[in-house]
Amino acid sequence: VPGDIALAYLLQGSFYGHALYATAYMDTWRKDSLVMLLHHLVTLALLAASYAFRILQSHGEPQHPWGAGGSPKIHGVMGGSPMPSGRGGCAGSVPCHGDTDPALSPFWFRLYWFPLKVLYATCHCSLQAVPNIPFYFFFNALLLVLTLMNIYWFLYIVLFVAKVLLGQVQEVNDVREYDVEESRK
């Protein structure tokens, strides 16, 4: 594994390892703390399995059908044939920053475009390009779990915005806190 890639895995793994410890022992316990712990565990599993898979590739053992780079060579996506010209934007038809309303960008990219592209590429396109991908279901199950957690947290954001718009919030409180709702009862 190249040094820069190994460093990226080390940094991300240490971040999520610390976040797991901090959520369990240092943070205020919230309604979504168990989901946060699960998120960190799933992300660590994804990182560790991905790194282990790269090590297997680099030592000449079972070679991945994608080749030494470990990335799929899907037509028009990551390393395959170039995208046709005339499709502007950062990722084909996605408008770059400045093309969309800045207030809507986090919703558009984080909750729609990114999961759509990642899940489509990993669940559909990769299986068409390489029919017998090792660990296909394992990696995609972890990505789907992470996507479901993003939706779960987005619902908390929607709940908070709805409370603000309906005038039910006099001060800014985290809706994930146990003591905020209990103190009102």
Summarised one tens digit per residue, pLDDT across range 80-129 is: 444 344 444 344 444 444 455 666 676 677 777 878 888 888 888 888 88
pLDDT of residue 68: 42
Could you give the CA distance from residue 69 to residue 122 in angstroms, rounded to a whole number? Answer: 16
Lowest mean pLDDT among 105-109, 138-142, 158-162: 105-109
Could you give the CA distance from residue 108 to residue 65 in angstroms, rounded to a whole number? Answer: 33
> Hey, what are 140's tokens?
């995609």
The predicted-structure confidence for 27-80, as pLDDT tens digits, reads as follows: 999 888 999 999 999 999 999 999 998 888 766 554 444 444 444 433 334 444
Under the banding of pLDDT at 50, 70 and 90, the label for residue 169 is confident
pLDDT of residue 101: 65
Q: How many CA atoms lie within 13 A of 96 on its CB side?
A: 4
Residue with tokens 């080390």: 10
Could you give the CA distance from residue 158 to residue 148 in angstroms, rounded to a whole number? Answer: 15
Q: Model-level pTM?
A: 0.67
Amino acid letter for position 12:
Q
pLDDT of residue 60: 57
Q: Which residue has the higher pLDDT, 100 or 148?
A: 148
SS3 148: helix
**Residues 6 or more apart in contact with residue 157 via CB below 8 angstroms:** none
Residue with tokens 């987005």: 154
Rounded to 5°, angle at Cα 132 from 131 and 136: 105
